[in-house]
Amino acid sequence: VPELPEVETIRRVLSEKLPGRRILNLQTHHAKPLRPQSMAEFEKQARGQRIVAVERRAKYLFLRLEHGSLLVHLGMTGQLFAAPVVLRPAAGKLSLPDQHTHVILFLSGGMILYFRDIRRFGKIRWVTDEQMGELLQRLGPEPLSSKFTVEGFRQALTRRRTSIKALLLNQAVVAGIGNIYADESLFRAGVAPQTRGATLTLAQISRLHTSIRRVLREAIRHRGTTLSDYFDPESRKGGFQARLKVYGREGEPCQVCRTLVRKDVTAQRGTHWCPACQPGPKNKTGPRLLNKSRNNPA
């Protein structure tokens, strides 16, 4: 599932390739990713427009056009590929348009950009500046911007009875984090994922704030995490999967303390953590009793 580092990697690749090119023509092959827009409306609004810039906010990508933008959310398995319009006959190569390709943009200068999505939870549609503004307004701060402060983060967590794992996945608290980077940030901060937001100490909040930024920066530097479906627009895999410390490592010894990494359900998501490195809040119950789903691991 693409999160901030993967979407940012895509943005950087596309920023080198797309600005200045015109959408000469386009094909839509499936209506679902465009909803509530119709295929005809999408084609009408995008055709003939020039791509001005490629921007990212949270897990959203925006291809800014002369009028409005193409909004892309990759959902679970969405991919954007840019390729020369003359395709070599390389059967089976992932980046070639196939039955999972829902939208193809034919760009000036001999390039195609296409949106591929096996599970079809992704979105691509044309939005006005006003619609984009409404969408962005609902999102919390960008974690790598100066708007994400320890004090703002603390305020967003106070009086929240939900787990810190759920709060990190809440895009209104902080934008762009999903399951992988939530688990990795919590591990690096030494905070148990089941800890309730309101019970976090200022020291824990501060450590978590730092670890979120470090993990995301490091993941961007390694071009994101490829576990199965994530590829950049040039069909390259990410490299951060080798650096994951807990995500996907359940049953393996913790790299820090050799305790076995656990996978439990927290915030309805499979959550990877080390019970020794991530002790619970300093109260009678500890993380084990707070985690109701402990008896029901994913």
Give a three-class secondary structure readout of 77-110. Answer: CEEEEEEECCCCCCCCCCCCCCCCEEEEEEECCC
Which of these segments, 98-106, 133-141, 177-185, 268-276, binds Zn ion (CB under 5 A)?
268-276
Q: With CA atoms as reference, report the closest residue to 169 among 140, 198, 209, 211.
A: 140
User: Of residues 167, 173, 192, 277, which one binds Zn ion by CB under 5 A?
Assistant: 277
Select from 14-22, 174-182, 223-231, 250-258 the region that touches Zn ion (CB under 5 A).
Answer: 250-258
CB-wise, 71 or 261, nearer to Zn ion?
Answer: 261
Binding-site member from 22, 276, 293, 294 for Zn ion (CB under 5 A) = 276
Work out how close the CB of 283 gets to Zn ion at its nearest, in angstroms, rounded to a whole number: 21
Cβ-based neighbours of 273, under 8 Å, separated by 6 or more: 183, 186, 187, 192, 193, 246, 261, 262, 264
Nearest to Zn ion of 173, 189 (CB atom)? 189
Q: C-beta of 261: minimal distance to Zn ion in Å?
A: 8
Instruction: Tell whether residue 156 is a contact of Zn ion (CB under 5 A).
Output: no
Please give the distance of CA 296 from its chain centroid, rounded to a whole number. 27
123-267-214-173 Cα dihedral, nearest 10 degrees? 70
- 40 is an interface residue for Zn ion by CB under 5 A: no
Considering only 104, 144, 256, 265, the residue that binds Zn ion (CB under 5 A) is 256
Minimal distance, residue 272 CB to Zn ion, in Å: 11
Binding test (CB under 5 A) with Zn ion, winner from 85, 87, 172, 257: 257
Number of residues interacting with Zn ion: please give it, by CB under 5 A.
Answer: 7
> Can you give the binding site for Zn ion, defined by CB under 5 A?
254, 256-257, 259, 274, 276-277
